[in-house]
Structure 1
Amino acid sequence: MAHTKIFRNGHSQAVRIPAELAFKNWEMELVIERHGDELHIRPAQRRMGNILGKFAGFSSDFMAKGRGDNQEDEREAI
């Protein structure tokens, strides 16, 4: 856990993010959400990582037979 302080930047409050917690990319938008007394900071758009590489790892016959026998139970009417 790292400790830091808030400071004034113009008419806004600002917080210094310690180097060990800093984001690697400086050119990104962040979302700040308040949850009670806590502020949660996260990237505005989450990256999907190497999703195309993961898809490429599937065999050519993946799901060739479909999902198989997938019967759903009857539900009570609403």
Structure 2
Amino acid sequence: MSLTKVFKSGNSQAVRIPAELQYDRLDMDYEIERVGDELRIRPARRRLTNLMEKFQGFSDDFMTQGRGDELDEPERDML
């Protein structure tokens, strides 16, 4: 377990995340919640807002030729 410091940043408290625990990406949001006396930080779940608008951006012939990576896969045993 690593130790860290809590400090003031403007009107908020901030926590220094040690290098060995840092997240790889800085270009996304993270959720933080209090559970008892713990603070839990995790990558925010992606929202599906505007999903239909994104689909409308595809052309009418999108994927008509398939993905182009179809392989002859061996048949699988039934479960």
With the length of structure 1 as denominator, give the TM-score of the two structures: 0.58
The CA distance in 1 between the partners of 2:25 and 2:74, in whole Å, is 36
Q: Percent identity?
A: 53
Q: Give 4+ residue runs of structure 1 displaced > 4 Å after superposition.
A: 59-62
C-alpha RMSD of matched pairs (Å): 2.4
Give 1:45 deviation, angstroms.
2.1
**Amino acid in the other structure paired with 1:26:** L
Distance 2:42 2:29 in 1: 9
TM-score, reference length from structure 2: 0.57
Tell me which amino acid in the other structure corresponds to 1:12. Answer: S
Question: What 5-or-longer segments of structure 1 have no aligned partner?
Answer: 47-55, 68-78
Unaligned runs of 5+ in 2: 47-69
